[in-house]
A and B are shown apart, each in its own frame.
Chain A
Amino acid sequence: MVEPLLDVRDLAAGYAGRDVLFGLNCRIWSGELVAMVGPNGHGKTTLLRAISGLVRPSRGEILFAGKPLARLRPDAIVARGVVHVPQGDWLFPGMSVIENLLMGAYLPAAGVRVSDRLDFVLSLLPKLAERRRQLASTLSGGERRMVAIGRGLMAGGSLLMLDEPSLGLAPIVIDQIYEVVFALKGSGRTILLVEENAARVADHADRMLLLDNGAFVWEGSGPDLMVRPEIVETYLGG
């Protein structure tokens, strides 16, 4: 039995003393694309933040490649290879596209030249190459999203977590973003993603996890989920 890359056990976490996640269990194996779906405000972002260290769990364990993450600072967790592309992009507004991308590669990675990685990211997201010196605060929504994802890719890492990559974007742009995401999955990356529109990812995800009120209520494959109208209607707004 292969060990999971990420192993979340009995995780409880929240804000200002009130928990939002209640005893979550979740495992992700290397190479999987796992999509978390479910109504907003029910804890999906909190889970990602607990994994990346921005939120301290009140209970439970998070193991990454067998080693515990739960009490580490975010910068230490990134160093282990967990990359979190947060909801809302969180770009550095006063920096250019290139500078934002370079910040993604802030931590030195053994045996990798930053310029090589930059070339790779720009080849995947050619629109960014055109706008390399532009200030992040002047970019369009879709461009910002690409910078955010590009920045995550610059970090390398073995687990990529994307929080609502389609948020606030026009359908055509969402298609472009997902083209990149599925290409990454195809090249073997392990991806944990939060997506409001389950239908978008149902065909490509290895597994879908339905999170409701801080707990996982269902797990299965994409096609499995889409043929259950009661789930789709209740939790995913039809």
Chain B
Amino acid sequence: MTIGAMYAVSTIGLSLVYGSLNMLNMAHGAILTFGGYVCYAAMARVGLPSPLAFGAAILACGALGVLIYLAAAWPLLRSPNFETNIFIATIGIGAIIENAMLKVFGPYPIPQPLAVSGDFVVGHVHVPDQNVFILAVALALMALVAITLERSRFGRAIRATAQHRSAAQLMGVRVGFVYAQVLAISGALAAVSGILVSSIATLTPVMGADPMLKAFIICVVAGLGNVYGAVASAIVLGLMEASVQYLLGVRWSLATLLLIVVIVLIWRPHGLFGRSQEERQ
């Protein structure tokens, strides 16, 4: 359940970015890592209290998202092979960020200081408070994203841009701005995900690769661009992964996950909730 929730947070950002920009952000894992490290640095090196460190990480990654928009997405948007170009560009950006983390913090795992200690007992089961915390944060964020997308003018602009970019322009939406904001939000969500993941595991420069891979798998299974489908799939897949690990052992979980993906894609090539490509302009 906790794992599913963590995956969900990391997946929302990725799904939003693909849905609105048709962009597979391969730097997502690196941003996630960056967020975890910023939180650590803010607490351990600068001495900020945990809520401020959390906030600092979110701001830093949001800014990073905007930077990626300015440096990569905006210049490439008019190019004929945008999707391929941005895929490659973000791989490069991701590599740069990871190497920067490696240089600054070293390759050795560092424990994430933002942690909630203690246990929460339900009947025979001891649930670490940390897990409850993660679950609570993830749920709050998902609710926030849902409310924003559905109810706010800003959310409507994002959905309009995702569904029909040229029409959105004719309504007066500044599409470039929307893209920058979506990347900022995606960055902020990646930061949260990074903090949560590292609070259970540890901080390493390459910690982002696995969550990013899982996020992509979830997005593809759900249907690229469908945010709610992605959240639902994330939770289901999280539960499945936990069960498989429990029943068959840890080494089978990734194989099982990939097997599920293959089956789903054979059955429904557009993903469980995906639509066939609408006219995208």
| Contacts from A to B (Cβ < 8 Å) | 52-54, 73-75, 78-79, 83-84, 86, 90-95, 99, 102-104, 106-107, 151, 155
Contact = CB atoms under 8 A, between A and B. Distances in A.
A222 B278 CA distance: 39
B156 A103 contact: yes
Contacts of B168: 92, 103
A174 B11 CA distance: 46
B243 interface: no
Contact of A92 (B153, B159, B172): B159
Contacts of B173: 75, 106
A92 B160 CA distance: 6
B160 A103 contact: yes
B268 interface: no
B245 to A, nearest CB: 36
Contacts of A54: 166, 169-170
A91 B167 contact: yes
A159 to B, nearest CB: 13
B171 A155 contact: yes
Nearest to A92: B163
Contacts of B166: 54, 74, 86, 90
6 contacts: A75-B172, A75-B175, A84-B170, A93-B278, A95-B159, A107-B171
Contacts of B174: 73, 75
Nearest to B278: A93
A91 B278 CA distance: 11
Contacts of A103: 156, 160, 168, 171
Interface string B152-194: 0100110110011011111111110000000000000000000
Interface residues of B, number: 18
A75 B167 CA distance: 10
A102 B175 contact: no
Nearest to A154: B171
Sort A-B residue pairs by CB-CB distance and give the 6 closest, nearest first: A90-B167, A107-B172, A74-B169, A78-B172, A92-B163, A106-B171
A78 B169 CA distance: 8
A75 B157 CA distance: 12
Contacts of B163: 92-95
Contacts of B171: 75, 78, 103-104, 106-107, 151, 155
B48 to A, nearest CB: 38
Contacts of B153: 106
Given A78-B171, A155-B171, A106 B164 contact: no
Nearest to B161: A92
A146 to B, nearest CB: 16
A36 B172 CA distance: 25
B169 A73 contact: yes
A83 B172 CA distance: 10
A95 B164 CA distance: 11
A94 B159 contact: yes
A155 B172 contact: yes
